[in-house]
Amino acid sequence: MSTSPHQAKRPVTALAGPYGHPLHPILVTVPIGAWVTSLVFDLASHLTSDPAFLARGSLWLIAVGVVGALAAALFGFLDFLAIPAGTPAFRTARLHMVLNLLITAMYGGAWAWRAGTGPGPVPAGQIALSVVALAGLAVSGFLGGELAYRYGVRVADETTQAEGFRS
């Protein structure tokens, strides 16, 4: 049984962003950027004589990332609702969603763990948690790419895309 991909190209509501311009992909740049930068700050906290400002900055970046991830998840869920159940695209989207929720929970836990940490360099265990979470985020990002570039979820159809190549 074949399911038409056209359903997954259209937003289920205007809140998800207009046709061909979904909001989820732009919103994911906030947590990705915040969490990658927090790891850079974590590592840099071991290279300076005053690590407190970097550890504090990393804590704030983790918080910004969690809030940004929750916002991205709301819009991503709207896109998920457009995908026909039982399809490879649906299974990929479900795994992408579950991984992102787990990663967000990991960072929420990391924030709570760090909130009680002293002014020194970020401890190795906290850095290791960030590395594991970022590795999971890379896998989930790959799955998000599969959804957009392989399955065409929320991507304009070929007729619309062809308009950009007419002379």
| pLDDT value of residue 144 | 97
| Domain annotation covers residue 65 | yes
Q: CA-CA distance, 32 to 68, in Å (whole number)?
A: 9
C-beta of residue 144 within 8 angstroms of C-beta of residue 96:
yes
**Helix residue ranges per DSSP H, 50-153:** 52-80, 88-115, 124-145
pTM over 0.85: yes
Q: CA-CA distance, 16 to 23, in Å (whole number)?
A: 6
Please give the residue range of the domain that contains residue 76. Answer: 25-157
**DSSP tag of 84:** P
Segments in the chain below pLDDT 50 = 1
Question: 3-class SS at 119?
Answer: coil
Total number of domains constituting the chain: 1
In terms of Cα–Cα distance, which of 167, 158, 59, 54 is closest to 108? 59
| Domain annotation covers residue 9 | no
pLDDT in tens, 42-68: 999 999 999 999 999 999 999 999 999
| pLDDT value of residue 160 | 84
